[in-house]
Amino acid sequence: MAEGTTHCYHCGEAIRSGPRFEATLAGEIKPMCCIGCKVVAEAIDQGGLGNYYRYRSKLAVTPEPVADSYREELQLYDQPSLQRGFVHHHADGTLQATLIIEGITCAACVWLLEQQLKQFDAVESASVNLSTHQANIRWHPDQLKLSQLLERIASIGYRPHPYLPNQQDTIVRRENRLAIRRLAVSGIGMMQVMMYAIALYAGAMQGMETVHRDFLRWVSFVVATPVVLYAARPFFEATWRDMKTRHLSMDVPVSIAIGGAYLASSWAMLFGGGEVYFDSVCMFTFLLLLGRFLEMRARHRTNRSGNALLSLLPASAVRVSDGSEERIAIGELEVGDRVRVGPGQNIPADGLVLEGCSSVDESALTGEYMPIRKEAGDRVIAGSANAENSLLIEVSNIGTETRLSAIVRLLDRAQQEKPRAARIADRVASWFVAAVLVTAALVFGFWYQHAPSDAFWITLSVLVVTCPCALSLATPTALTAATGFLHGRGLLVTRGHVLESLNSITHILFDKTGTLTRGKLTLEEVVLLGERDPEQCLALAARLEAQSEHPIARVFQRPELPAAEQLRHLTGEGVEGVINGQRYRLGKPGFALPGAPLATPKAEGQWLLLAHNEAPLCWFRLNDQLRPEAADTVARLQQQGYRVELVSGDAAPVVDAMASQLNTDLSLAAATPDIKLDHLQALQKAGARVLMVGDGINDVPVLAAADISIAMGGASDLAKTNADMVLMSGDLNQLTDALHIAAKTRAIIRQNIAWALGYNLLALPLAASGLLAPWMAAIGMATSSLVVVGNALRLGRAIPSNR
């Protein structure tokens, strides 16, 4: 290899005395500046990831071999206590870590990181977000340690950090600062060049000496150069990446327009042929950057929704131990700790109130703006605000296991999914760019034959006026506005396809307990059938239900009593277990006494039978209040043309009475999860599109199988994980609002697409005929995008004031 100054193939660093290291990549010898670059480059090539060097748009940072001291530091993250803030434990035993990756510069970095992580057999999924530098990795901890994942990331030149909201904010602030600098350069440049352009235009009409004209052109060139080379740099970088990946985006015609106008104007300035349009270049760059900046701010607001929720957690908590109080960092809390939360303070973890009575504001989490009364025995959630009196709370969930963290994960999942309408719009925009480029080439060819001096500027107008910014914004702006509006009203959208799919719903199925009712069952009566007294029967029931999440279990649960042994829950039937060596059953009569079930009493309510060794001990009569808005919600849904059905595992008398009260179209009683699923699938085979609303573990199969599913805010974690939406506020009125918003969103998306296409079809002939100057085309393009965004914001006024 020749001597002299050369550059490292991996990082681009100068090697002034000739390369000391070399790596063989794809059969070719490449110079390397250090052993770190050599190791990384060979690892990339040997791992089948050689395309990284074709996709990257920026040179990699020079990596350092993972030092022993840094490896030891990474191994500390294998300790569960250090994983608490950024690692979530899934029910199937897998772990999910959320990291911030330092050193990401472009899409090639994202691709490389994901491919490297997926090479581990123990990794189930790995995704990296280019805009937030956030990585989500899910793996099997019995096969792979977290430190091994972190070491793999570090070995290819990146720096992994546990995800913390303040680190995310640092990245956002850096991106904002850079965007503002580019916007400022282009704005100042536009104003300066426009002043010179006014003089040039006036001179063209009234006459101007050549020396003065050339001077103004040179000054315009000097001012426009940093606008093109610095402010417009992201467009050129994106175009270069698109060319390497053979993909067309809206940046391609934008870059051609900016770069072509700048080069042609420079040519005209140097050789005196034609006009200069440095003013159009600067104005177009500024207007486009302004639109991108506003879009970026909207994206950051969306990305910050999870961070805003996490910021509800206090930095510290007051732990109570042996009668003394000490303030500790929230990360030091353990399950079982007791914490004191004073009035005006936020609750640091999920827990159970042991002492005190106060009102708690959960509006940021549930959308319910009225404070909720909490007293001994009630559960509280992390991030909610204590309004009045001091509370003593026993911690039950911390870190990533809190309900607050679960909501953040659902928000992240919704943001990562792209609905079908958005995918179609992206494909249309890509084809549209190709059509624009072909049209621009034809226009140039025509005018070059008939008026060569005008060919370039008319072609420039065509490229600018047909930029598909509005088309690309048509769908995501409407979906973002609708999702944010529903979130503000307590309805959390967790899947990207929801707003699109809601428009095809024909049937709505409701569970009863916890869905149409408040889900807060009360014990109304104990009917003794044996020799035990009511208190003994209640204690037995409490031990049987100690580990259940079902709403019925909450009626009996007492934290001070131990759980029964050998507990077995039969979904939709009941629970059995061993207490003091004796087997007990609690549930439906056919389950509690399988040999000779007793007839259910006729009195209103839900009856459960407690039995011991096939001998009945007592009946428990439970009652649940109907939600006050349930009847009105069902009536309005039916008025809108939906078929409303009630499916419940409760006994027929209870279900039939509620169905009659609500006037549902059909009721299905004593429905086990299998029966519910069979009923839903039968409807779907008949051509129905079904929305299921439920809250319990027994609703999980039917929630997963429904076309759209909604879990109530108080539902089990498993039910919320399998649902497409979560009704955090518990207000059934939001269901009709969601359907109304979905229809309005579809209409606005169609309006936006129609406007974007109509504008281009109208403006293209005007530009192609030479009636639009480039600066007029730039204004038209920016205005088109603003119309689309403004139309999407109308969704905030989509709900009528009177229901």
Task: Choose among 217, 207, 321: nearest CA to 267.
Answer: 217
pLDDT, tens digit, 9 for 90 and up, residues 23-71: 877 777 888 776 556 756 776 776 666 666 665 655 555 555 566 777 7
Greatest mean pLDDT among 97-106, 145-154, 355-364, 513-522? 145-154
Is residue 538 predicted with pLDDT exceeding 90? yes
Q: Give pLDDT, residue 3.
A: 46
Total H helices, total E strands in the chain? 27, 31
In this model, does residue 719 exceed pLDDT 60?
no
pLDDT exceeds cutoff 50 at 94: yes
- Catalytic sites, residue numbers: 511
* Both tokens assigned to 578: 């061993």
Report pLDDT for 387. Answer: 74
pLDDT for 229 beyond 90: yes
Helix, strand, coil share of the chain (percent; to 5): 50, 20, 30
Per-residue model confidence as pLDDT tens digits over 657-675: 889 999 999 998 878 777 8
Name all domains of the chain by residue range, CATH numbers in brackets: 6-55 (no CATH), 68-163 (3.30.70.100), 334-396 (2.70.150.10), 494-517+626-740 (3.40.50.1000), 522-623 (3.40.1110.10)
Q: Is the model more confident about 689 or about 130?
A: 689
* 768 phi/psi in degrees, rounded to 5: -65, -30
Residue 370: per-residue pLDDT: 54
Q: What is the mean pLDDT of residues 404-424?
A: 59
Q: What angle do CA 269, 275, 278 make, to 5 degrees?
A: 70
Residue 698's pLDDT is 59
Query: How many residues in the chain?
Result: 803
pLDDT of residue 170: 67
Residue type, 565: E
pLDDT value at residue 801: 45
Give the pLDDT band of residue 469 (cuts 50, 70, 90).
low
Average pLDDT over residues 147-168: 78
Query: For residue 353, what pLDDT is reported?
Result: 92
Please determine, for residue 257, whether its predicted confidence score (pLDDT) is greater than 90.
no
Tokens 């700790």 correspond to 337
Instruction: Return the residue matching tokens 């039937």.
Output: 573
Is pLDDT above 50 for 367?
no
pLDDT at 19 > cutoff 50: no
Contact of 313 with 348, CB cutoff 8 Å: yes
Q: Return the pLDDT at 108.
A: 55
pTM strictly above 0.75: no
Structure tokens at 478: 């409407």
User: Is the pLDDT reported for residue 415 higher than 70?
Assistant: no
Give the residue with greater pLDDT, 446 vs 209: 446
Q: Is there a contact between 179 and 296 (Cβ–Cβ < 8 Å)?
A: yes
Whole-number mean pLDDT of the chain? 79
769 or 519, which is more confident? 769
**Amino acid 50: pLDDT:** 63
